[in-house]
Amino acid sequence: MTQPIRVRMAPSPTGDLHVGNARTALCNYLMARRLGGAFILRVEDTDAQRSDASHEEGIYEGLRWLGLDWDEGPNVGGPFGPYRQSERQDIHGEAVQQLLSTERAYYDYTTAEERAAEREQQRAEGQPQRYSGMGRHFTAAEIAERKAAGVVPAVRFRADPKPVRFDDIVLGTIRAGPDEVDDFVIARGDGSALYNMAVVVDDEHMRISHVVRGKDHVSNTFRQVLLYEALGWTPPAFAHLPLVVNRRRQKFSSRDGAQWVGEYRTQGYLPEALVNFLIFLGWAPGDEREIFSLEELVQEFRLERVNRADAVFDPQRLDHFNGVWIRRLDLDDLAERAWTYATAGGLELRPDQRGYFRSALELEYERLSHLNRTAELMDFFFDDDLDPDMGQVRFRRHTAAETARALELVKALVDDTEPFDDPTLEARMRALASDLGWKAGDLFMPTRIAVTGRKATPPLFATMEVLGRQRCRERLQRALSGLAKLATA
C-alpha cells in the first residue's frame, strides 16, 4: 500500500514568517494539495529563550495572508499532536532512552573547557573542528569524579566511522565520508532533545512521508539518517531546495530586501505576487510561462522540476510580478484591498466614498506599483482643501495674467459643460485652446495643476470627470487666487 503523502513546515517562533520559510511552506503546500495529502504545521519552539508566542502568531498570519492553509497544527489540532515541539518532550525522551539502552548514545561528561581546548588545538593544526569522541572512553571512576564535581552530561549519538548517504529528489545521491559526522549531541543536560533528535522523532510519529526544506539542512540530514537507522525507522523521502542568494551570488540578507513576509505586506505587495515570485526561487514550469495563481501552481508544481543551482532573489522581478498582479485583479477586489492601505497611509475616507474611491482607483491603477502608494497617488482626489501651487506652471509663451484669464474661461466651461464627462470636456477644452490661439498643452497643464495640484496625473479629462464639477470649480477658483498673487509679484 502506498504511504499517504504527509508533508510539514516546522518553523521556529524566534521571528515572524521569513521569506525562505515561506518558500519552503509553499512547496510543501503545493505538493500536499496536488497529491491529496496533508500539510502539517509544527512549531519547533524548544529554544525557550528566543521563542515568542507573538512570533508564532506572526507565522500563522503570514501563511494565511499567502493563502497557505494547513490541515494539522497547534491551532487546529489533528491526530498526531501535540504540534508544538516543547509539548512533546516526553516522546523525545523515550527515543533518547532507547538509544542509550542500545548503546547507540552515551552520556558525555567532557567539560566546556575540554571541548574548547580540543577545538583550539584542531584550529592550530589546521584540522576540521569536530568532536573527537573523548567522552566515549571515560572510565567509571572518571565519570564518578566528574559527577562529584558537578559536571552535567549531554547525551551524544555514537556515530560509527562509516560513510553516510541518502537519495534526494532534487540533488540526487548525497554522500558524507566516514569522518564527516562526529558524535553529535542529541539531548541537553536537562534531558530536553536537541533539533536533530526532536525532528526525527516528530517526523516519525507524525508519519511524515516527505521532508522538503532548504539545502542548508543537508548536513543535518546525514545525522538524521543515522538516527532513523539506529531507532529502526525508515527515513522519509528528502528534497532539499536550492539556497536563496542575492544577485552577487552571496547569501541573501536584509541588505538585499526585506526578510519577513509581513514586511512585504506592509510595503504593498500582493500575496499573489509574492507567491508567484517565491515559487520561481528554484522551480520553473519548463516553458515560457511566468504568471501563475496559487490554484494553477497546485496543478503545475513538481519537485522534479526544482533546480539544483542557487536561486537568485531579484527584487526587480518581484516588483514586476506585483505590477502584473495589480492589473490582473478585479477592480472591486483591488479597491477593497487598496482602501485598507489608503486609510493606513493617512487618507481620511468615509464609507459613503467607496464608489468615488473605486472610480479614482480605476484611473490610477496603471500607475500603482505597490498598494502602500495608494494614499500618495490618490490623495488629491480627497483633499477638498487643496490649494494648487500655480508656481509649478512654467510661463514660457503666456504670462501669469494671461494664464489667469484662460483659467477663468476654463472655469466657465466647467460650469456649463453637459454632460460633464471625459470626451465632452476634452472636445470643449481643445476648442477653447484653439479659440485662444494657444497650443492645447499650454492650456491643459495649468488646468491640470489647478484641479489636481500636480503635473503628473492620470488623463486630465477623465480625472476631471471623476473629481466632478463642484470640486473642479472650487479648485480652479483657488488657483486663480494664486495666479493673481503671481501676476502682481
pLDDT tens for each residue of 215-258: 999 999 999 999 999 999 999 999 999 999 988 888 877 677 77
390-488 matches 88-241 in CATH topology: no
**CB-CB contact of 27 with 59 (8 Å):** no
What confidence score (pLDDT) does residue 1 get?
46
Q: How far is CA 366 from the centre of its chain?
A: 24
Output DSSP code: residue 18.
B
Determine if the pTM surpasses 0.85.
yes
**149 contact partners, CB below 8 Å, separation of at least 6:** none
Q: From edge to edge, which strands make up the β-sheet containing 164-168?
A: 172-176, 164-168, 237-241, 210-214
333: region left, alpha or beta (phi > 0 left; psi from -120 to 50 alpha): alpha
84-137 pLDDT tens trace? 999 999 999 999 999 999 999 999 999 989 889 998 998 998 888 889 889 899
Can you tell me the distance from the alpha carbon of 97 to that of 90, in angstroms, rounded to the nearest whole number? Answer: 11
Strands 237-241 and 210-214: parallel
Tell me the residue type at 365.
Y
What are the distances in angstroms from CA 421 to CA 6, 17, 352, 430? 58, 48, 22, 14
Q: Coil, strand, or helix at residue 237?
A: strand
| C-alpha closest to that of 380 among 466, 461, 440 | 466
In sequence order, the β-bridge partners of residue 107 are 155
Domain 88-241: assigned CATH number: 3.40.50.620
Can you tell me the distance from the alpha carbon of 455 to that of 182, in angstroms, rounded to the nearest whole number? Answer: 68
Give residue limits of the domains in the chain: 88-241, 390-488
Q: Coil, strand, or helix at residue 79?
A: coil
First to last CA, the chain: 90
Mean pLDDT by 10 residues, the chain (489 residues): 88 92 98 98 86 91 98 96 95 97 96 90 87 90 93 95 96 94 94 95 98 96 98 98 89 77 97 98 95 98 96 95 97 98 96 98 95 97 88 81 95 98 98 97 96 96 98 95 78
Q: What is the CA radius of gyration of the chain?
A: 32
Element (H, E) at 479: helix 469-488
Domain at 390-488, CATH class: mainly alpha
In sequence order, the β-bridge partners of residue 162 are none
User: C-alpha grid cell for residue 26?
Assistant: 509553499
In sequence order, the β-bridge partners of residue 105 are 157
